[in-house]
Amino acid sequence: MIEVSNVTYDYPTKAGIVHALRGVDLKLEGGKLYAITGRSGSGKTTLLSLMAGLDTPTSGTVFVNGVDLAKTDQDRFRREQVGMIFQAYYLLPQLTAAENILLSYEIGKKKEKPDVNALLRAVGLTSFHGKKRSTQLSGGEQQRVAIARAIAADAPILLADEPTGNLDNENSRNIIAILKRLAHEKGKCVVVVTHSEEIAGEADVRYHMSDGRIEARD
């Protein structure tokens, strides 16, 4: 489904070029849950954003279903294929949790209106939380709303950047269960970046990143 081929990515900064990715090769398929671990700064977030089509690689290619992502309509690709959970949640503060979850529907990514309450319940929240602004929610609650927002899009590819970083064990497990179900039952390609060994253990395939490279596959 997604094939990352010899991809590098440089951030030009004032202090010089940061080589965030130094030649990454990956092959991801639908119906599987992938975990990417690695130390902070190893390039995980960068890799996810390249796979989401938010950026194009400095060199190398990201193929999606055999097509070079850089040469396709990336906006359309994201609209139709990608759901994403950000490390820093990125909830829109001016909107309620429910409205954040409904964003994908409003933008036209999804035809039918998703059941917000069901989504909230799925991530361990209630409709009560749905009415609140993100600023009135705790970090964990915000993270779960962000997950619900990504799931609501119902996209074939789901990229999650440390989705359980702020969650307690129970909620973490619950989220992982959902992601696993999405992969196994709905045939989505789910990629989870995580520090948690427990979550990584649940994945079908594990990758480890270090210094901009995929180091080991176990």
Partner 1 sequence: MKVFFHFVFRNVIRRPLRSFLCFFIALLTALVMIVCQTISQRVESALTDLEKNYPAVATITRRAVISPDGVKIPSSRYLTVDEAYPLSQSGSVKAWNITLPAGSLAQEELMGKLPDEEFLAEPPREVISVDDRVSVQAVNNLVLTEAFYSGESKIVEGRLFTSEEMRGGTRAIILSRNTARRYGLALGDKVTFDFENSGSFSLYRVVGIYESGKGTELCYIPLEDYFRDLCMLWPTGAHLDSVAARPDRVIRLDFLLTSPESGEVFIRDAQSLGFDLSAFDININDGAYFAVKDGLEGILLLSRIVFFSVLTVGTVILALIIWFFSSSGKNERTVLRVLGMKSAKISAMFASEYVLIMIAALSAALLSGGAVSDSALHFVERCALEEAVEEANAQEDLSERTNREIILKRKIHLSLIDGYEGLVGEVHAVSNHLEEGKIGVRREIFWSQSGAMTLLGMTDFAVDGFENTASFERDILSESGKLSGYYFRCYVPENSPYRVGEIIPLMPQKMGEALVFTGDLANGLYRGVLISSGLVVSGIYPPEAHIGEEFVLPMKELELMCEYLSISSEKYRSVRYD
Ligand X SMILES: Nc1ncnc2c1ncn2[C@@H]1O[C@H](COP(=O)(O)OP(=O)(O)O)[C@@H](O)[C@H]1O
What residue type is 4 in one-letter code? V
CA distances to 34, 35, 117, 126 from 189, rounded to whole Å, are 8, 11, 25, 27
- Cα distance between residue 122 and residue 132, in whole Å: 17
CB of 81 to Mg ion, least distance (A): 22
Cβ proximity of 193 and 161 under 8 Å: yes
Based on the shown chain and the rule CB under 5 A, indicate whether residue 142 belongs to the binding site for Mg ion. no
Residue 129, classified by CB atoms within 10 Å of its CB into exposed (0-12), middle (13-18) or buried (19+), is buried
Hey, how many other C-beta atoms are within 10 angstroms of the C-beta on 181?
14
CB of 162 to ligand X, least distance (A): 8
Based on the shown chain and the rule CB under 8 A, indicate whether residue 76 belongs to the binding site for partner 1. yes
Based on the shown chain and the rule CB under 5 A, indicate whether residue 104 belongs to the binding site for Mg ion. no
**Piece of the chain touching partner 1 by CB under 8 A; list 59-67, 84-92, 176-184, 205-213:** 84-92
Q: Which of residues 39-58 bind Mg ion (CB under 5 A)?
A: 45
**Piece of the chain touching partner 1 by CB under 8 A; list 30-38, 106-114, 172-180, 197-205:** 106-114
By CB under 8 A, the count of residues binding partner 1 is 24
Place of tokens 């590098």: 8
Based on the shown chain and the rule CB under 8 A, indicate whether residue 102 belongs to the binding site for partner 1. no
**Piece of the chain touching Mg ion by CB under 5 A; list 3-11, 67-75, 81-89, 207-215:** 81-89
CB of 151 to partner 1, least distance (A): 13
Alpha helices in 108-195 (DSSP H): 116-122, 127-130, 139-152, 169-186
Based on the shown chain and the rule CB under 5 A, indicate whether residue 100 belongs to the binding site for Mg ion. no
H or E, element range at 79: helix 74-81
Q: Which is nearer to partner 1, 107 or 177 (CB)?
A: 107
**Piece of the chain touching Mg ion by CB under 5 A; list 38-46, 49-57, 104-112, 149-157:** 38-46
- Cα distance between residue 195 and residue 175, in whole Å: 15
Based on the shown chain and the rule CB under 8 A, indicate whether residue 84 belongs to the binding site for partner 1. yes
Interior CA angle at 89 toward 86 and 92, to 5°?
120
Positions that interact with ligand X (CB under 6 A): 11, 13, 18, 20, 38, 40-46
Residue 191, classified by CB atoms within 10 Å of its CB into exposed (0-12), middle (13-18) or buried (19+), is buried
CB of 179 to ligand X, least distance (A): 18
Which residue ranges make up the site for partner 1 (CB under 8 A)?
A: 52, 54, 75-76, 78-80, 82-84, 86, 88, 90, 92-95, 103-104, 106-109, 153
